[in-house]
Amino acid sequence: MKFTDLADDAEDTEHTPAERAAAASRSTWVSVGVNLVLTITQIVVGVVAKSQGLIADGIHSLSDLVADFVVLFAGHHSKKDADVDHPYGHQRFETAASLVLGTLLLAVGLGMLWSAIRKLEAPETVQTVHVIALWVAGAALVAKELLFRYMLSVAKRVKSSMLVANAWHARSDAASSLVVGIGIIGNLAGYPILDPIAALIVGVMVTKMGWGFAWDALHDLMDRAVDEQEVDAIRRTLIETPGISGVHDVRTRKMGDMIVVDAHIEVDAAISVEAGHDIAVLARQRVLQRHRVLNLMTHVDPWRRPDLDHAPPVAPAKS
């Protein structure tokens, strides 16, 4: 999975949630248009030209089209404000959407594998394809690669892991179109069996990618931490806050494309509770302004004093 594409810059000070949502919506609607045209063209031409590989590629495009609508649905719901039942907001709709996308690709990939294997078991049923299938496969390759580059640039600009997942759907389709094109060329050159072999390879690619997306999304739903680079950037922002002398126990968990952070900050033991609270408030404001952080919960510790947070519990006195 290519969520590491977001790691180029650990801070995001340029885009509001509304701007990120608008960019996601625009890029996804572009993907809808491209995938709709490709799905219809590939499946229709695949049937007419008798190319199982091109039909498999068209089904892959169809899965991307369904995925686009899942992304739009999740993007709409993730923008809802926090409520009593969801005090941290609805950002995990995006993570759930990534899980759905992965599961969808996994199911589609397994279906492709089953169909291709059945063809390979009866090679005499494989027919020679028409040359028009090769032209359509080439056009699909170009369209999907351009779509991938466009969507990935948008995803990296607004730092959306869900858009990264959808962009790599496009790249997987570009790769599958390349494989299908090679299979069609082999078929036209007198080796008909290469067309179902191409469909089999596409099935393996789709299955592998679906598993990766679903597995990563499942980990995120289980409160996986963000990468160490981003944790270090948040830690630096905290330690550079006036009044903070030390930082420890920085813990993070993903909330969609946002982050929830817990941290212990160390302040002068001689200051008042009010002064320590003001420092914690300033630290929270700085972190929320500079990073993709939804909320920061701070625990104030006295600087250069024994840390009793990790001390074993004291046994109750016997009567």
Please give the structure tokens belonging to residue 56.
């498999």
CB 279 within 8 A of CB 243: yes
Residue type for position 63: S
Residue 144 CA: distances (Å) to CA of 113, 149, 254, 275: 22, 9, 30, 56
- Of residues 219 and 10, more confidence is placed in 219
Residue 143 has pLDDT above 60, yes or no: yes
Say what the pLDDT of residue 318 is: 64
- Euclidean distance between the first and the last CA atom of the chain, given in angstroms as a whole number: 59
- Report the chain's mean pLDDT, rounded to a whole number: 80
Backbone angles phi, psi at 130, to 5 degrees: -85, 150
The band of 283, judged by pLDDT with boundaries at 50, 70 and 90, is very high
- Of residues 178 and 122, more confidence is placed in 178
pLDDT tens digit sequence for 156-176: 877 766 677 767 767 777 877
CB 45 within 8 A of CB 30: no
Say what the pLDDT of residue 194 is: 85
Percent of the chain's residues with pLDDT above 70: 81
Q: Dihedral of CA 58/61/67/72: which sign?
A: negative
Q: How far apart (Å, rounded) are the C-alpha atoms in residues 266 and 63? A: 51
| Rounded mean pLDDT, 260-285 | 93
- Of residues 269 and 14, more confidence is placed in 269
Q: How many CB atoms lie within 10 A of CB 113?
A: 19
The band of 64, judged by pLDDT with boundaries at 50, 70 and 90, is confident
Residue 127 half-sphere exposure, CB side, CA atoms within 13 Å? 11
Q: How far apart (Å, rounded) are the C-alpha atoms in residues 293 and 3? A: 17
Residue 118 has pLDDT above 90, yes or no: no
Q: How many CB atoms lie within 10 A of CB 89?
A: 20
Say what the pLDDT of residue 8 is: 38
Percent of the chain's residues with pLDDT above 90: 22
Residue type for position 212: G
217-241 exposure pattern, b = at least 16 Cβ within 10 A, e = fewer: beebeeeebbeeebbebbbebbeeb
Q: How far apart (Å, rounded) are the C-alpha atoms in residues 265 and 245? A: 8
Q: How many CB atoms lie within 10 A of CB 40?
A: 14
The band of 11, judged by pLDDT with boundaries at 50, 70 and 90, is very low
Q: How far apart (Å, rounded) are the C-alpha atoms in residues 51 and 115? A: 13
Show the 3-state SS of the chain. CCHHHHHHCCCCCCCCHHHHHHHHHHHHHHHHHHHHHHHHHHHHHHHHHCCHHHHHHHHHHHHHHHHHHHHHHHHHHHCCCCCCCCCCCCCHHHHHHHHHHHHHHHHHHHHHHHHHHHHHHCHHHCCCCCCHHHHHHHHHHHHHHHHHHHHHHHHHHHCCHHHHHHHHHHHHHHHHHHHHHHHHHHHHCCCCCHHHHHHHHHHHHHHHHHHHHHHHHHHHHCCCCCCHHHHHHHHHHHHCCCCCCEEEEEEEEEECCEEEEEEEEEECCCCCHHHHHHHHHHHHHHHHHHCCEEEEEEEEEECCCCCHHHCCCCCCCCC
pLDDT tens digit sequence for 78-100: 666 666 676 666 667 777 777 88
Say what the pLDDT of residue 287 is: 93
